[in-house]
Structure 1
Amino acid sequence: MDSLSQICLGAGVATLVMGRKVPVKQAVVWGAVAGTLPDLDVLFSSGDAIANMVSHRSNSHALLYLALFSPVLAWLISAVHRQSALFLRWWLAIALVLITHPLLDVMTIYGTRLGLPFTDTPFGVGSIFIIDPLYTLPLLGALVIALLRPQWSSKAAAYGLGLSSVYLFWSVAAQQSITATVQAELPEPAAEAVLVTPTPFNTLLWRVLVMTEHGYYEGFYNILGQSAAIEYQFFPQDSLLKTRYANHPDVARIAAFSHGFYSLQSQDNKLVLTDLRMGLRQNYAFSFLVTPDASSPATALPRAYDMGTTVRWMQQQLVAAD
């Protein structure tokens, strides 16, 4: 999720756990700091554009490593504030803040390596967009109340966390329902994989991606008024090109990271490699230029993801359902 959501989640969890044992501002600040720490991995380069992408949300988001780090940070906090008697309480608070960060990230489609060092699998439910105001606003509102009315801090944090959690449950239920509908009416019986994710900032308009051997279908499902079958647009792909470069290190990394939801095209003696999960209507967030012989590091193509155009199109789709 975005930084603001993680800050609000961390601050809310710390406020709830610490209660009135410490000043509310103290719990909020340390919760926000701990909630931000796992994302500092973006400050370090892993070598090239693709390596940087797939290494984000890896070691710094592994549950085991965060659990091992939590008592160290808790000890530091309790020492700074001379609160040795509250070390165990701080430990519980920081552990929960650090662990809920990657668990929230898992709800997006990007891919989070929770299981390191035991498994390198990137997990992603994909039921919520990386930025969703309806998830963040209850947490933010609860923090404002907690800071303005410290006597209500625990209840405010509990309500904020509760409402945001209910919204997450709703997103999963909606995704599962739409997925069942899609599976029952596939545009092509020989579909290899199906992905259902929300469009930006909402859980009302959903994107459906159906991968086949020779390309992929893209369609949209509107919860507000989907009375007819999903209308799909087909985008052909060169299956022989994918087969030829299946063992190319860059292609293999994106194929594994995206769970097969990627496209590969030949362009000017180079390969254009695109993660199809993030973006819509051929407007994607992550595309890379790689050399066929892997002789040069992969480079990220200028990001052409036009959020303004995307949002305007989404508004048209949602209004059309009224």
Structure 2
Amino acid sequence: MDSVSQLALGAAVGVAVMGRRVGVGKAALAGAAFGTLPDLDVFIDYGDPVSNMTEHRGNSHSLLYLSLLSPLFAWLLCRLPGQRVHWRAWTLTLWLVLVTHVLLDTMTVYGTQLLRPLTDYPFGVGSIFIIDPFYTLPLLLGLAVALVRRGTRGLGANRLGLWLSSLYLGWSLVAQWQVGLAVDRALAAQGVEVERRLVIPTAFNTLLWRALVITPEGYLEGFYSLLDKGAAPEFTAYERGMELYPALAGNPHVARIARFSKGFFKMSERNGQVFVTDLRMGQEPRYSFNFVVAQRHAEGLALVRPEQFSERLELSRALDWLWRRALGEPLPPPGQWASQVR
């Protein structure tokens, strides 16, 4: 999740466990600091953009490593005046702050390697977008009340914020399941041969969902809102460029994206440059993780150091489409719609 959500979650957990012992302000500050700690791995340069992407949420998000580090972090925190007597309580608190950070990240589709060093498999439920104000606002509001109104009522508001945000995560799982059923029914009715499929929310909400379907011929993309009033999801077919894959399958960067995306990737060529793209994050025709991995010459494909190219729709148009489509308006896919309204 985004930094604000992780900060708010860490602070709220800190207040819930330590608010009565050390005060709401200190508990919130410690929780916020350690709640953002695992994401500091974004400042580590692993040598190239593909490695930087796939190593994020790696060792810093390992449940084992964070569990082993929690007592040490608590010991460091207890070096502050008056905190030594709370070492056990701080150990539990910081463990909860760090573990909830990792588990929340796992609810997104990106991929969290929470079982390192046993495996570097990127777990991702994909039921919530990386930024979702409906999850974050209850935490912030409950925390704000706790900071302003000290005592039982403030702590109760903080707990309520935690409960509401957790219930929202539960709702996201139910919504994902319901949309998945509708997508599967539509694919079966159309006789689509499915190799793998993914259902993930669009930006900032759990009302409008994106379906991504890998087929032997390419891939399908479709959008389905819970307000579509029973209409079946519609899909648009795209080429996946897999004819480029055999020549580059041995490239470690291509292989890494193929594994990290769990097969939800495409190959493409533009102006002699060959790209590998993670299809999970973004939507046609623009994606967040799009990497140049080769250059075409007369002799064939030559490998190059990966470069990342992120392409996004103009924000105002993207939000306009998102809002209208989420409310059930039958709009074409965002890339087509943006070209029509220019």
| Alignment TM class, shorter chain as reference | over 0.9
Shift of 1:291: 1.7
Structure 1 SS opposite 2:305: coil
- Please, what TM-score do these two structures have when normalized by structure 1? 0.95
> Residues of 1 paired with 2:245 and 2:4: CA distance?
38
Partner of 1:202: 205
Hey, what does 2:96 align to over in structure 1? 96
The TM-score with structure 2 as length reference comes to: 0.90
Contact 1:209 1:218 in 2 (8 A): yes
The 2-side partners of 1:38 and 1:17 are apart by: 20
Partner residue in 1 for 2:284: 281
Q: Which amino acid aligns with 1:314?
A: L
1:109-155, Cα deviation, whole Å (9 max, x unpaired): 11100000001100110000000010000000011000001103321
What residue ranges of structure 1 are gaps of 5+ in the alignment?
A: none
- For 2:174 and 2:234, the matched residues in 1 are separated by 22
Q: Kindly state the Cα deviation for residue 281 of structure 1 after the two structures are TM-superposed.
A: 2.8
Q: Which residue of 2 aligns with 1:248?
A: 251
Contact 1:279 / 1:305 at 8 angstroms: preserved in 2?
no
Which amino acid is 1:89 matched to? Answer: A
- From 173, 191, 196, the equivalent of 1:193 is 196
Taking a change above 3 Å as real, the CA distance of residues 123 and 306 of structure 1, as seen in their structure-2 partners, is farther
Q: Which has the higher contact order (CA 8 A, sep 6+)?
A: 1
2:234 pairs, out of 231, 234, 238, with: 231
| Matched-pair contact (CA < 8 Å) for 1:216–1:236 | yes
Q: What RMSD in Å do the two structures reach over aligned CA positions?
A: 1.6
| Distance (Å, rounded) in 2 between the aligned partners of 1:188 and 1:216 | 14
Match of 1:47, SS state, is: coil
Q: Are 1:16 and 1:153, in contact at CA under 8 Å, matched by a contact in 2?
A: no
Give the drift of 1:231. Answer: 1.3
Kept in 2: contact 1:248–1:294 (CA 8 A): no
The residue matched to 2:304 in structure 1 has which SS? Answer: coil
Distance 1:265 1:316 in 2: 31
| Partner SS, residue 20 of structure 2 | coil
Structure 1 segment 51-70 matched on structure 2, within 5 A:
51-70=51-70
Identity %: 47
The Cα shift of 1:302 comes to 4.5
Moved more, 272-281 or 235-244: 235-244
**Contact (CA 8 Å) 1:284, 1:305: kept in 2 or not?**
no
Distance in 2 between the 1:176 and 1:81 partners?
Answer: 50
- For 1:296, the equivalent position in structure 2 comes to 304
**Uncovered stretches (5+) of structure 2, i.e. residues with no partner:** 296-300, 331-342
Deviations 1:262-281 (A, max 9, x none): 11012333311111101123
Report deviation, 1:305. Answer: 5.1
Moved more, 259-268 or 185-194: 185-194
3-state DSSP of counterpart to 2:316:
helix
